[in-house]
A = this chain, B = another copy of it.
Amino acid sequence: MPRIAKYDREKALEDAVRLFWERGYGGASMKQIEQALDMRPGSLYATFGNKDGLFREALAVYTGRMSNSMGRALEESPTIMEGIFTYLRSLTEQITAPDSPARACLVVKTLLEVTSDQPELRDLVNRRLREVEDYLAELFERAREQGELKPGVESRRLARLVQSQIMGLRSLAQRDIDTDSVKNLTEDIITALGAFTQHPTTH
């Protein structure tokens, strides 16, 4: 067995996430990818197949990180709804960090970028977003059973509402706007979601 792989696959994918997150799928050229990952075309194509393949793997890394972040917030919170609010605050800290490649979500950026002549990518991001919706719906169904939600609240509708809140928060945060305004917005979103929770939101 000769020659060990010089380039760490994980390190390369981290760089890819950063570049795609900052510039989007179409906005990141292979030349820029070569620079960011410090790899030559031959190695890139041998390792990831093509630009699509690299993007898919980078997207998987990105969504995995986001899931972990939400999971951690839920673990350290006494109730599900408080876990959601804790996650929103944690997310706000993350995206307003000075070294964040972008504040908007990479999945949403791709959703808004991709057209009907890229059906594979389109289906991929739709699948990811549907998975998040399903996960949230399960969470809120448990929250409902535990009396955390007002009577009559549908868990799946609340799931889509919360997903739209995250999309809106992160898209607005992509504006040229100061960090305090983003944090205020997060608190206002939590307040607004209080219309669906049994007990008034704490903050």
Secondary structure type dominating chain A contacts? helix
Contact call B176/A164, Cβ cutoff below 8 A: no
A161 on the B face (CB < 8 A): yes
CB distance from A57 to the nearest CB of B (A): 21
Contact call A161/B112, Cβ cutoff below 8 A: no
Given contacts A27-B113, A113-B109, contact A164 B157 (CB under 8 A): no
How many residues does chain A have at the interface if contact means C-beta atoms less than 8 Å apart?
44
Contacts of A195 in B (CB 8 A): 191-192, 194-195
Given contacts A27-B115, A112-B104, A112-B108, contact A157 B174 (CB under 8 A): no
Contact call B161/A192, Cβ cutoff below 8 A: yes
Chain B residue nearest to A158 in the complex (CB): B188
A90 and B171 CA atoms in complex are apart in Å by 22
A83 on the B face (CB < 8 A): no
A111 and B167 CA atoms in complex are apart in Å by 13
Chain B residue nearest to A23 in the complex (CB): B115
